[in-house]
Structure 1
Amino acid sequence: MRAIAYSRYGGPDVLELVDLPEPKVGPDSVLVRVRATSVNPVDWKVRQGYLDGLMDAVFPVVPGWDVAGVVEKVGLDVPELAVGDEVVGYVRKDVVGGGTTAELVSAPVRTLARKPASLSWEEAAALPLAGLTAYQSLRRLGVTEGDTVLIHNAAGGVGSFGVQIAAAFGARVIGTASPARHEYVRSLGGEPVPYGDAMVEAVRALAPQGVDVVVDLAGGGVVATTPQVGTPDVRLGSVADADVAAHGGANFWVRPDAADLAALGDLVDAGLVKVQVARTFPLEEAAAAHDLSATGHVQGKVVIRVS
């Protein structure tokens, strides 16, 4: 099978188009013929070795954890799926290695859900990791109808899902974003405020009693401002700041979860959550896709079309 792989940590130049053996399929896994995958910031951070202290790598590494494709083979004990089923998945395994930037991927059933019928392959590939990160963060913080939620980096890949999902849960959403992206945040159902020194005053003007929930998707120490914008009982979580616990919050790391992914797909098919694809690359241009993602200035997801 054709795949993108790297045999050492480094920049996008370590990515190569290679031919690899077909992956083996475990008893609780399926073989997916990949139609599309997407690039998330974690992909190029892993490629650069930033997660080496957390996860072992098995070289050559095929990058990517998002997948949209068709089940081609099922394991010995997989009653949930059948050959020909269209699926999406957040295929993160216990080691960094057999990823989704390839024509075929072996995916544990716990990582997969049926593809939302309303999405194209490219849109479906952009959903799992970023969408689940937002969905699980909001669920763990207990966001519900009547809450006021502040999302830092509301126009980013995860934040754009977070605004829509929180609104679907019945919450009022305020989101930090650069001025150029304020209209985009409004289009998602949020009320934009600026980054930086003006943020606290802007949030307080919109929510004088304070926000009920703060979701940090930006890092850079913004969790420290939470007492100035939150209620006395504010709930705080971060996917981007390891020091959040010192401010009374919790760290979140997205987990593969078939039920959560299915619930997210239901929100999509109900028209409550939309997926924006910024640009699509062919498999052989994966390095360019990584480069674009790493700029941090993409509105929507970067997708790689595989087959």
Structure 2
Amino acid sequence: MTRARSSQISLDETPYYHCICRCVRRAFLCGQDHYSGQDYEHRRQWVVDRLAVLVEIFAIDLCAYAVMSNHYHVVLKVDRARAETWSVEEVAERWMGLFSGPLLVRRWLRGETVEAETLKAVEIVESWRSRLFDLGWFMKCLNEHLARKANEEDNTKGRFWESRYKSQALLDEKALLSCMAYVDLNPVRAGMAATPEQSEHTSIQQRSQALSQKPGQKGGAKPRLVPMVDAEHIETDDEGTLCRVRLMDYLQLVDATGRALREDKRGAISAEAADVLQRLGIDETAWLRHMAPRKQRTPLAMGTMCRLRAFAKATGRRWIAGQKAACSLG
């Protein structure tokens, strides 16, 4: 039986989640549709543009993304504490950046309400606060927007997405790092790009361009990404950064992992990347096995065994798949 999405999220256990959404049947989100001959390449920028809007409104940050031909991946960080610091007025302005809101709230913002109306308006706005750090609302605002634009362009109606988005909890830094590398390597694995840096509409390309100070993608905005640490702060626990890995180390790690997975280049992880793995306590053989493509369904959560057990308890489960991988990662 399908579980409620809320039962798969536990912000007390982790703020990081990997979300995947796939188009229905043979519908193409982006790229070249070989069945109809139509080119939907321009739709990739739709996803990136919408992500750029949503991360500025929600208390949800973007760690990684990859826009494929009929699906997309995002790795998100939910920042509940930030949302709780916003004033009522800021909550209203953020939410009404996406939705028009009731007339009562609009009048309240203009200072046109009496005391009883003000109390009701504030009550309504406070109900929006929790939505601004809710993964479901973030994905709803992303998917409904894309579906409307695609259906309008195709002059059709009905479902555009195959099902609800799939989410995977990332319970520790090791799980976060491996999932981000998996997402960033998707275009290379699919044969869409020769290198991660050439993968259009991905976070790995965006981070690479920022590092080399090259101009970004043409024709649209780029979403704000959670920054990685620099050399001076690598040993600190700065909540504003992503994890204890420098950007250059991460790029080298993704490149080395990608080379190891390519059929024509079955090499070992480079010496530069090995330092990162050793610092995080990840076994090299286990890393490559963990990053290998899987045919089975995506595990609900990733992390060490103790974190998996805590997440299972927090979400009302007795058992979670992926314990073998958890043991191999430490």
- The TM-score normalised by the length of structure 2 is 0.21
Report the structure, 1 or 2, having the larger strand content: 1
Instruction: Looking at secondary structure, tell me which structure has more helix per residue.
Output: 2
Q: TM-score, normalised on structure 1?
A: 0.22
The higher radius of gyration belongs to: 2
